Structure 1
Amino acid sequence: MSKHVAISPEEAADRLAIRELIEGYAHCADRRDAKGQMSLFTADTHFVVYMNAKDPTPSQELHSREALAPVFAELNKYDATTHFLGQSTIFTLTGDRGTGETYCLAHHVTADGGSRRLMVASLRYLDRFVKMDGVWLFAERRLYVDWLEERGLS
């Protein structure tokens, strides 16, 4: 357990803004707001996907905000998604930079004819944040898929 000390109002505001950034990402994903989701990243962002969290080789690596468009558009193949956020931990926060980790259970529903299927992905995001013009953004987001489960829905 970490020892809690008093923090300044500015640090408290930064921590809240970072949490809202993380929540905004999930909200935009579930609403299929790819432009809104992309706006949460720096222009030169680094986005890395590890479909197998135990494999050190990324499945996908992108190097700009614009490169995120097809990744976020891929969510359109689902009838519905729910990204349920778990714990978010800020590891470091100094001035206009920070690092953190967020857990997420991402639910993806597909419908094919009369049958519906659910895929649940256990995700972890390792993030680097940067504050630009007073706004916190993702400078780097590493997405790790820890496990997947698929099942039929009634």
Structure 2
Amino acid sequence: MTANFTGPLEDRIAIREVLESYADAVNRVDEALWASLWVEDCHWDLSHYPELGIVSGKDAVVALWAGAMPHYPKLSFMVMPGMIRVDGDRAEVRAYISEIYEEPGTLKDKRARACYNDVFVKRDGQWLIQSRSFTIIHQT
């Protein structure tokens, strides 16, 4: 265990499975699975895109995602955790993502590398996303 990965192994594996389920849901455009990974009082910080800002509440978060996905029919989304620090029923998580997609309108291949800084919470024995903050690292 390193300073980036702290807390009970069982919790860290469960959080990793949420991240991996998130990626699977994106790749398969599975709205039910994607939505199931968030708590009701969640926040999705997309301030990197000023027109989106911060979206609050599960209904609004899911609606934003569901509305965007039809514009990216050939999206490939991969995730790799860089940090999982569990403290009781709360965890700080950093996940790096890689996306390849066709740009809407131009159909040109686009590639993005980004980072999510997250807060996960354990509710009724299940780890869920409470907040995600998105930052692009590199995009072509």
The one of 111, 126, 130 aligned to 1:139: 130
Cα–Cα, structure 1 residues 33 and 3, in superposed 2: closer, same or farther, change >3 Å? closer
Q: What secondary structure does 2:108 align onto?
A: strand
What is the RMSD of the two structures over their aligned residues, measured on CA atoms? 2.6
Could you tell me how far apart the structure 1 residues matched to 2:131 and 2:51 are? 14
Q: What secondary structure does 1:36 align onto?
A: helix
**Offset of residue 58 of structure 1:** 8.4
Structure 2 residue 17 is the aligned partner of structure 1 residue 33: no
Q: What secondary structure does 1:80 align onto?
A: coil
Q: Which amino acid aligns with 1:136?
A: W
The one of 54, 74, 79 aligned to 1:80: 74
Structure 2 residue 14 is the aligned partner of structure 1 residue 21: no
Cα–Cα, structure 1 residues 81 and 139, in superposed 2: closer, same or farther, change >3 Å? same
**Offset of residue 99 of structure 1:** 0.2
Could you tell me how far apart the structure 2 residues matched to 1:103 and 1:147 are? 11
Structure 2 residue 99 is the aligned partner of structure 1 residue 102: no
Q: Return 5+ residue gaps in structure 1 as ranges.
A: 150-154
Instruction: Identify the residue that residue 62 of structure 1 maps to in structure 2.
Output: 55
The higher radius of gyration belongs to 1
Structure 2 residue 121 is the aligned partner of structure 1 residue 127: no
**Offset of residue 111 of structure 1:** 7.9
Q: Return 5+ residue gaps in structure 2 as ranges.
A: none
How high is the TM-score relative to the length of structure 2? 0.85
How high is the TM-score relative to the length of structure 1? 0.78
Would you say how many aligned residue pairs link Structure 1 and Structure 2? 138
Q: What secondary structure does 1:69 align onto?
A: helix
* Identity over aligned pairs, percent: 25
